Amino acid sequence: MNPPRRHTVGWADHYRPTTLKAMALAPELRQRFEWYLASEVLPRSLLLHGPSGVGKTTIATIIADTLYASDGLPRVRRVKATEAGTVGLIRTGVIDSMRAEPGPRLVIFEEASELTDEAQAALRVPMEDYADHCRVIFLMNDRSSTFDDALRSRCDVIEMRLPPLAECARILGAVLKAEGIPPVASEVLARVTAYFAAASTDNKRDLRTLLADAEVAVATSPIRPKRSS
């Protein structure tokens, strides 16, 4: 966790994880991503799907920073939602990035569900031709039935599920400690986790929601954080 300090952004952004340890993950997902990160490069391309807020973008960033940033060269290309449907950009800029050598490359599609059929078709051959040195990570909120089968077959498909409550409580406890919230403020944790547990069957049970709710609970509590100056 970051050291305690005054900050203007919300807890969810200030404490955005930069390591697997700082993420709320189911044990089997943590083990799988640890295996990926133990490699020199990503062993296969990935398709990560799951509701907003469960860490898809965060884990893609951790993979990029861990496996593709050690030499300081621009080896990662991010394709945002506003770019994903532009087949001209895919055929030129993105595929050029995939083709570039020497050294490994990574392309991250932040909203892969926005890729048009034409854009997906344009990626089929490059994903195969440049597979020796380029990996792709597709991120989407659901496992779209319209996503190209050829692209899907070249990926490990991983469902990013809602994290276990115990994992969320672990992260929240670390954030409260970093924020200087005294132990006597445990009712803040109880208030938030009770709500969070009640939301376990829908998409509200994500770490961003938990930290946002905790921040509001602390702000409206008579107990004030004991920050270091």
Residues 29-80 have pLDDT tens digits of 999 999 999 998 999 999 999 988 889 999 999 999 999 988 878 899 999 8
Q: Is 204 exposed, middle or buried (0-12, 13-18, 19+ CB in 10 A)?
A: middle
Nearest CA to 167 out of 145, 144, 136, 196 is that of: 196
Q: What pLDDT score does 199 carry?
A: 57
What is the torsional sign of CA 143, 146, 147, 148? positive
**How does DSSP classify residue 94?**
I
Confidence of residue 193 (pLDDT cuts 50, 70, 90): low
Q: What pLDDT score does 223 carry?
A: 56
Q: What pLDDT score does 6 carry?
A: 57
For the chain, the average pLDDT equals 83
Q: What pLDDT score does 4 carry?
A: 45
In this prediction the pTM is: 0.84
pLDDT > 50? residue 2: no
Bridge partners, 105 (sequence order):
134
Does domain 27-159 bear CATH number 3.40.50.300?
yes
Segment 135-191, tens digit of pLDDT: 999 999 887 778 999 999 999 999 998 888 788 878 888 888 888 876 545 665 666
**How does DSSP classify residue 113?**
G
Q: Taking the domains of the chain in order of start, what are their residue ranges? A: 27-159, 163-219
Q: What pLDDT score does 205 carry?
A: 60
The single residue listed with the structure tokens 């921040």 is 215
Q: What pLDDT score does 206 carry?
A: 72
